[in-house]
Chain A
Amino acid sequence: MMRARWPLVAFVLAIAAAPWIVPPFYVTLLNYIGLAGLVVLGLVLLTGIAGIVSFGQQAFVGIAAYTTALLTTAMGLSPWVSLFASLAVVGAFGLLLGAITLRLSGHYLAIATIAWGIALYYVFGNLPGLGQYSGIDDLPPIALFGWPLDTAPRIYYLIWTITILALAAAMNLLDSRSGRALRALRFRGVMAESFGVDTARLKVLVFLYAALLAGVSGWLHAHFLRFVSPHAFGVNAGIDYLFMAVIGGAGQVWGALIGASVLTVLREWLKDILPAAIQRTGNYEIVVFGVLMLLLLQRTRNGIAPALMRWLPKRTPRPPSPDAEPLPRRAQPEPGRMLLEVDGVRIRFGGLVAVNRMSFSVRSGEILGLIGPNGAGKTTMFNLITGVLPPESGQIRFLGERIDRLGQRRIAERGLVRTFQHVNLVSTMSVLENVAIGAHLRGTSGTLAAMAHLERGEEERLRAEAARQLRRVGLGEHLFEPAGSLALGQQRIVEIARALAADPVLLLLDEPAAGLRYGEKQALAELLRRLRDERISVLLVEHDMDFVMGLVDRLVVMDFGEKLAEGAPQAIQSDAAVLEAYLGGIE
């Protein structure tokens, strides 16, 4: 988030001054905007950033509102007590629904959220204990030090304090270790997982956070209006929240408030203006509203926020501090020790045996090249080692421990770190942030600390480490550029820097030279040579034989899923079987 802080400050001042300036009607409207903004903020993180589409946020608003309504009327509890009870109920629901649905792929989840939204609406409307369709009224107002917040201007500051705190927390979160993982979740989940991010847990967390924000909004809503009825929590409300997120700009925190404001104000104006303008009753406002939304989306499909942000000055990015204490490094095995042993590994896809009886090993301090023509099974072998695929038979051991059933994350924890053949960077994040994802496992701070920015010390160390690795590979000049703006050759090198940031025991490079121009290949070879001189252990998968010849200590050649030859590069170069595989034999 390379934005200046002053818009937030200016915004806070404007909100603080508003009740003294605008007419009371607009204070009420601002209350509604704040209430919706809270829910939409959760959606921005959940849908816009993490890519999990939910139409069901109004269900959480409703659950909290009904819980607090029941507890404060029937049981006479204080609204502050019922706040915690409401959030506990919402949290439990969120965890339950999250556990059920988050494992489903995108569209199922979206539809499931519609379904539970509708189901809950009818439950609210039909349970006698909940007042059926007429709802529950006479809720007590929230009292602050004995002072009841029973009018719109009085509850205004409570609503907006909470909303602004949530906004600041979301901004802090996105600019942190967890935030980087979150921003990688949508398009780069496989990559995040391979650097030790528990993507399933992260999804549940962000889902829970969005649910809790909706719950707080529901609690405020119930005690602001002092009455709850199912109509406020129908499926239309859930769709409205999503509307707000998309119109405002689902990819940005500010989009939540922009969307909430635009929709709330537009609705209200249309309700006032249209009947007067058209002189006919009827639901014209909904028609005009729909048409305006269509036009808006066709003009700016990413929402209003990105268009507005262009007008704000960019903050000069904060350079990583040079005197941050370096992160602890793991103890490297002594040179010559056995690192990786692949032992009789086999995998089939349907009828095709992709890898068969493959055995080889890598020792500490050496560079092993795994080469073979296209389709030889190199990338499959790579996926077997990194835990993307489990082998059908055979064993893979790392430092003597079996890893062939561990899964990507556990393997990454042990220091086996990879790059991707198809560049797997988050293109909108800066080069520095991308590399910092590599150091994910070297930090420990969680989401709560990140929201309060209590982890700045560790964050500085992570950023300094990322900058150090980028300087090591010669990209020190590009720290703050978006990763997507670099040339392919440079992006490949960013991939290597990211892997180095994980402090690897063994570096696995998947065809790093594929698709590079001659000059880029030269630069890459130069970098790998430097790494070799630093005695880093590397397993290099490649099909370009010329590229690996001067680099590696030993070569393993694969063809049709089996090992064809193994030995020193010079010996391999004159091996008849290898020549035949690469050049084709004489029939």
Chain B
Amino acid sequence: MTFDIALWLTQDGITNGAIYALLALALLLVFAVTRVIFVPQGEFISYAALSMGMLQLGQLPGTVWVLIGGGLLAAGLDAAKAVRDGMPGRLPRIAAMYVVVPVAVSAIAAWAAPRQLSPWLQALVVLGLVVPLGPILYRIAYQPLASASVLVLFVVSMAAHYVLTGLGLVFFGGEGLRANAFSDASFSAGVLNVGAQSIVVVVTSLVVMAALWLFFERTLYGKALRATAINRVGARLVGVRTELSGSLSFVLAAFIGALSGILIAPITTIYYDTGLMIGLKGFVGAILGGMASYPLAALGALGIGLLESFSSFWASALKESIVFTVIIPVLVWRSLTSRHHVEDEEE
């Protein structure tokens, strides 16, 4: 391997690693707040990437039907509950959140599709389409089971993953799509040729991470989320609405998933079912970081990006095996260093 290739692989690895790092953060966040292992994160990635691709082809993304349908279902569930509770005052809010917003962004998407806007505006439209799916999914699938065990919540995640993947095939078809790069410019620094796309990815990831940090450290909602993550009952006692925390964490996760999809769309061809593997790599990164610390999770994910890029050079066929096996030595190391003690699960 020459130095040039190594540099190029490093650049590629860092670009992918930055995306995995974002995903790792979202997975950790959702897990900490809701105890959900968020498998459908992968679908937000592929929905966003494919919506981006369809907008660039001048077509209306199929996401709008999932969004409107899901919104109506969530609105129906909430409206029924509001009526049962004798609180019709909640109805306008429910309608605004689950019906008006989805229909409005769908209308914008329909308007934007034939117009070939700049990729930046298209990215905004895609965010508008995908992010509301987060709270809608939470309301329909997870909220009725919020107190169930991690295992049951995981199976819920898998069921939701099946539904969303199946709908993805229905609305996007089996063909893969690859979006145009935000910019074709490239900069040379010595022997290294840095593509503008890589810079966009890395800078966006850093900005989002900084914004998340500010959100958790400086805002009341961020602190409410952290409180819910640390002690659900305690948070409830001091007045945090834990359903709201769950919903909010799904908004953030959907945002990060959609953003990752938009960023990765020009880098690789995305199919309706590609998201799962991308999401899982974020997950492996999160584990490498110890499933608890955000900076370590981001570093771990970056490591996964680099490992993937170098192993695709040396042993392309076994790339996935290598990426997922690396977890084992890390776990061995952790099991050797952590003092063994018996611990009880909470009933």
Give chain A's interface residues, CB within 8 Å of chain B.
47, 51, 53, 100-101, 103-108, 110-112, 114-116, 118-120, 122-123, 126, 186-190, 193, 199-200, 239, 242-243, 246-247, 250, 282-287, 289-291, 293-294, 297-298, 301, 427
Contacts and interface: CB of A to CB of B under 8 A. Distances in A.
B145 A301 contact: yes
Given A103-B335, A118-B320, A122-B320, A47 B163 contact: no
Contact of A122 (B148, B156, B167, B321): B321
Interface stretch (B11-19, B202-210, B338-346): B338-346
B325 A108 contact: no
Contacts of B140: 294
A115 B324 contact: yes
A452 B347 CA distance: 31
B291 A107 contact: yes
A190 B342 contact: yes
8 contacts: A106-B150, A107-B150, A115-B287, A242-B151, A246-B155, A247-B155, A282-B169, A290-B161
Contacts of B37: 107, 110
A104 B331 contact: yes
Nearest to B286: A111
Interface of B: 31, 37, 140-141, 144-145, 148, 150-152, 154-156, 158-167, 169-170, 280, 283-284, 287, 291, 317-322, 324-325, 327-328, 331-332, 334-335, 338, 340, 342-347
Given A122-B321, A283-B166, A301-B152, A114 B280 contact: yes
Given A103-B338, A294-B159, A122 B318 contact: yes
Contacts of A290: 159-164, 166
Contacts of B334: 104, 108
A163 B136 CA distance: 42
Given A104-B335, A112-B328, A187 B159 contact: no
Nearest to A293: B159
B287 A239 contact: no
Contact of A118 (B156, B169, B280): B280
A111 B170 contact: no
Given A282-B170, A286-B166, A298-B145, A103 B340 contact: yes
A187 B342 contact: no
Contacts of A123: 318, 321
A119 B162 contact: no
A115 to B, nearest CB: 4
Contact of A108 (B141, B162, B287, B344): B287
A247 B155 CA distance: 9
A246 B341 CA distance: 28
Given A115-B284, A290-B166, A105 B327 contact: no
A111 B287 contact: yes
Given A122-B318, A190-B342, A286-B165, 15 more contacts: A101-B331, A104-B331, A108-B291, A111-B284, A118-B321, A119-B322, A122-B319, A186-B345, A239-B158, A284-B170, A290-B160, A290-B166, A293-B162, A294-B159, A297-B148
Contacts of B169: 282-283
A502 B165 CA distance: 55
A286 B346 CA distance: 33
A53 B151 contact: yes
B345 A187 contact: yes
B145 A297 contact: yes
A294 B148 contact: no
Given A111-B287, A283-B166, A286-B165, A51 B144 contact: no
A284 B166 contact: yes
Contacts of B320: 118-119, 122
B170 A100 contact: no
A115 B327 contact: yes
B343 A301 contact: no
B226 to A, nearest CB: 19
B67 to A, nearest CB: 16
B47 to A, nearest CB: 15
Contacts of A247: 155
Nearest to A428: B347
A481 to B, nearest CB: 18
A207 to B, nearest CB: 14
B329 to A, nearest CB: 9
A186 to B, nearest CB: 6
A107 B325 CA distance: 17
Contacts of B154: 53, 110, 242
A112 B345 CA distance: 19
A307 B344 CA distance: 27
Contacts of A53: 150-151, 154
Contacts of A114: 280, 283
Contact of B158 (A116, A119, A243): A243
A119 B331 CA distance: 15
Nearest to B147: A301
Contacts of A106: 150, 345
B324 A118 contact: yes
Nearest to A197: B342
B12 to A, nearest CB: 20
Contacts of A189: 342-344
Contacts of A188: 344
Contact of A126 (B144, B162, B321, B340): B321
Nearest to A296: B159
| Residue of B154, B164, B284 ringed by the most chain A CB atoms within 10 A | B154
Contact of A287 (B156, B163, B328, B345): B163
Nearest to A191: B344
B307 to A, nearest CB: 13
B334 to A, nearest CB: 7
Contacts of B324: 115-116, 118-119, 122
Contacts of B321: 118-120, 122-123, 126
Contacts of A187: 344-347
Contacts of A104: 331, 334-335, 338
A347 to B, nearest CB: 16
B162 to A, nearest CB: 4
A294 B141 contact: yes
